[in-house]
Amino acid sequence: MNEEQKLLLLNKYMEGTLSSEEELMFFDWYAEAGAGEFHRLLQQVATGTVYEAPGAEFLQELDRKLREDGKGKVRKMRTWWWAAAAVLLLAGSSTWLIFKQPATKEIVAVKDIAPGKTGAILTLANGDVIELDSLKNGIIATQQGTSLNLQNGILSYDAKDAADVSYNTIRTPKARQFRVVLPDGSEIWMNAESSLKYPTAFIKNRIVEISGEAYFEVTKNAALPFKVKIGDKAAVEVLGTRFNVNAYSDEQSINTTLLEGSVKVNRGTQSTILKPGQQAAVNETLTVNNDVNTDQVIAWKTGVFNFDGLGIEAVMRQLSRWYDIEVIYEQGIPSTKFYGEIGRNLNLSQVLEGLKLSGVHFRIENGKRLVVLP
């Protein structure tokens, strides 16, 4: 076969239009040529489109699937191909990883919905409310000798002249995320629909309270331990470490995931000390999970959705917070699971294009309603 014929077969395979005879030709070619030539042509198909060329990890997985296809599993594996290809993106990329898809009728975008952005609402100790979305860089307030400085979407506190302690609360509505640098230099990244209450100076203690989700990088200070309170349900004690707390009220449990250092998680009289890579789950009891995908846990902080192994309800909760939408299930909840990553800087319709290829369909209605179809 010449190169033009090979490209034709490759395109037909991805479109699912190979005839029985063409399938035999396709897999005979793949078995004879090996991965090198196949990958070269795969890159060529992607070149010049709005899609980014596939990375090595994806190509390795594709090789495995194609070998299975060649053993008589063509149609079964093709379903995986489209589902996976649609949602696998290069980390931090806003472009689809693989090929153009045919136009779809299942997604009717009345008005496309943009992704969330940096922004938050700050409430000072005196009750004044400041919307941080559009403020210019500089000192935005002074409280009890502590200065509040906003620089490029990051709020930091300078407490070197603090005379006393005040308490501030910062809230990220849906479709917003924000970063705060506390008086001791500890940094907190807040996910959408979250709240953080904290002192403007760490004089007697370092205690903060959160709801929603936040990622912490805590400055070490053995003399003044850092503590995160999650309502009256749980608390996390820290010396210096990196960890994530997911405490959304609509999730099944409050999850604390440790990436570096050591933390102690308390629930009533129960407590446990985590090692890096472990996750403590608090609901009716306190349990520890030793098999945690930490990349998935902090994917929101790095600018992607990581849907590996998640059911549709978990996926929709994330989309609801980031795109500020209401999710409606028209006829029950599909049992589909999703895999891969999608950039959080994509419009909602682009994300749905990828998810749809796993067999779930959607309709966007006026009023920011996303209807999940059977």
From first to last of the 374 residues of the chain, give the pLDDT tens digit.
777 777 777 777 665 677 767 777 777 776 666 556 666 666 555 444 333 444 555 555 556 656 655 554 333 333 333 333 434 433 233 333 333 233 333 444 446 899 999 999 999 999 999 999 989 999 999 999 999 999 999 999 999 988 888 999 999 999 999 999 999 999 999 999 999 999 999 988 899 999 999 999 999 998 899 999 999 899 999 978 999 999 999 999 999 999 999 999 999 999 999 999 999 999 999 999 998 999 999 999 999 999 989 999 999 999 999 999 999 999 889 888 888 888 899 999 889 988 887 788 898 888 789 999 97
How many angstroms separate the CA atoms of 206 and 184, rounded?
Answer: 9
pLDDT at 41: 67
* Residue 80 exposure: Cα atoms within 13 Å on the Cβ side: 14
Contacts of 213 (CB under 8 A, 6+ apart): 190, 191, 194, 244, 245, 246, 247, 248, 300
* Residue 316 exposure: Cα atoms within 13 Å on the Cβ side: 23
How many angstroms separate the CA atoms of 216 and 203, rounded?
Answer: 20
Quote the DSSP letter at residue 54.
P
Give the number of other CB atoms < 10 A from CB of residue 32.
9
CA angle 305, 261, 218 (to 5 degrees): 75
pLDDT at 92: 30
| 333 within 8 A of 291, measured Cβ to Cβ | no
- Token representation of residue 241: 């470490």
| 351 within 8 A of 319, measured Cβ to Cβ | yes
Name residue 199's beta-bridge partners.
167
Give the number of other CB atoms < 10 A from CB of residue 294.
18
Q: What is the DSSP string of 169-234?
A: EEEE-TTEEEEEE-TTS-EEEE-SSEEEEEESS-SS-EEEEEEEEEEEEPPP-TTS-EEEEETTTE
| 225 within 8 A of 207, measured Cβ to Cβ | no
pLDDT digits (tens, 9 = 90+) for 264-308: 999 999 999 999 999 999 999 999 999 899 999 999 999 999 998
Burial class (CB in 10 A: 0-12, 13-18, 19+), 331: exposed
